[in-house]
């Protein structure tokens, strides 16, 4: 299967580990010129090295915090320069803190707004001039299964990611005249370091064994297991490639059947 990614220029944010890292690695393995961005320089350099070792492709690693508008402008310019243009933008960021409505202060709401909604607005605004010049402009926003079925105790994720889904749908219409396809992919339970840490924290808090915590999660997933970051990346890379020519404004869940919404 040829995804048409050879020499395409791709920017993946929040890619030093987890879902972003898996997407960046898959793009590189399919021949793309990949820029990865994240906050920690050391983690970023290690991630770039790991991808280079595995794929033989040179990776452009740029330090950035998605909460900082200047960083966003800088990283998009760096991706454009490295890739001699920009064809594909994958918007990812760390998740917002958990918590229920009555627990959260305005400051936490604003932080989540900046990190999980405004980062997508700003990245898209900075990238769109370059994507317009591409013959295959694609944007994929990484959200959550919460856009289809809100998750208890995660009011910030439920709210901000629904905003990203609304933005995705709107952009799919507004950017269609430029041939730019815009979609979102929602992870259910994909086994990244973050998910492992969350399960460990739940076990510590409740006194349950880690295996019990995980078993409780697995009972909600028809396929009976967590997904792998690679399984998630397959969906992102498909939607965010020239191989996808007619799917835009869609939310694709990678969740082993967990979401019950139609």
Compare residues 5 and 195 and give the one whose CB is closer to ligand NAD.
195
Which member of 57, 98, 194, 220 binds ligand NAD (CB under 6 A)?
194
Beta bridge partners of 34: 10
- Containing 186, the helix (H) or strand (E) segment is strand 181-187
Of 37, 132, 122, 52, which Cα lies nearest the Cα of 86? 132
Under DSSP, is residue 126 helix (H, G, I), strand (E, B) or coil?
helix
Residue 137, interface with ligand NAD (CB under 6 A)?
no
Under DSSP, is residue 253 helix (H, G, I), strand (E, B) or coil?
strand
**Candidates 35-43, 100-108, 163-171, 205-213; binding stretch for ligand NAD (CB under 6 A):** 35-43
**Candidates 77-85, 190-198, 199-207, 212-220; binding stretch for ligand NAD (CB under 6 A):** 190-198
Q: Name every residue whose Cβ is closer than 8 Å to that of residue 22 and which is 6 or more positions away in sequence.
A: 228, 229, 230, 232, 233
**Contact pattern for ligand NAD over residues 70 through 99, marking x by CB under 6 A:** ----------------------xxxx----
Compare residues 136 and 154 and give the one whose CB is closer to ligand NAD.
154
Residue 189, interface with ligand NAD (CB under 6 A)?
yes
**Contact pattern for ligand NAD over residues 144 through 163, marking x by CB under 6 A:** x-------------------
**Candidates 62-70, 97-105, 132-140, 205-213; binding stretch for ligand NAD (CB under 6 A):** 62-70
Q: What does the alpha-carbon distance between residue 233 and residue 202 come to, in Å, rounded to a whole number?
A: 26
* Gyration radius from the chain CA atoms: 18
Distances (CA, A) of 207 to 103, 199, 202, 216, 217: 23, 12, 8, 14, 16
Q: Within 10 A of 136 (CB to CB), how many other CB atoms are there?
A: 19
**Residues of this chain that bind ligand NAD (CB under 6 A):** 14, 16-20, 38-40, 64-67, 92-95, 115, 142, 144, 187, 189-190, 192-195
């Amino acid at each position: 299967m040829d995804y048409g990614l050879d020499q395409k220029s791709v920017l993946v944010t929040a890619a030093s580990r987890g879902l972003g890292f898996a997407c960046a690695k898959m793009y590189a393995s399919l021949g793309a010129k990949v820029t990865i961005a994240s906050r920690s320089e050391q983690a970023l350099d290690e991630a770039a090295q790991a991808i280079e070792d595995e794929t033989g492709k040179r990776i452009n690693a740029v330090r950035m915090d998605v909460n900082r508008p200047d960083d966003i402008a800088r990283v998009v310019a760096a991706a454009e320069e490295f890739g001699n243009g920009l064809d594909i933008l994958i918007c990812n960021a760390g998740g917002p803190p958990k918590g229920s409505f009555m627990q959260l202060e305005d400051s936490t709401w604003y932080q989540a707004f900046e990190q999980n909604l405004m980062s997508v607005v700003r990245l898209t605004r900075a990238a769109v001039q370059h994507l317009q010049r591409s013959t295959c402009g694609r944007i994929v926003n990484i959200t959550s299964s919460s856009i289809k079925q809100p998750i208890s105790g995660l009011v910030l994720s439920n709210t901000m990611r629904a905003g990203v889904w609304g933005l995705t749908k709107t952009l799919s219409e507004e950017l269609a005249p430029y041939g730019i396809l815009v979609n979102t992919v929602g992870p259910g339970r994909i086994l990244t370091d973050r998910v492992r840490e969350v399960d460990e924290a739940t076990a510590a808090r409740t006194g349950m064994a880690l295996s019990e915590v995980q078993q409780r999660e697995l009972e909600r997933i028809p396929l009976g297991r967590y997904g792998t970051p690679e399984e998630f990346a397959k969906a992102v890379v498909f939607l965010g490639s020239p191989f996808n020519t007619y799917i835009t404004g869609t939310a694709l869940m990678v969740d082993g059947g967990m979401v019950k919404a139609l």
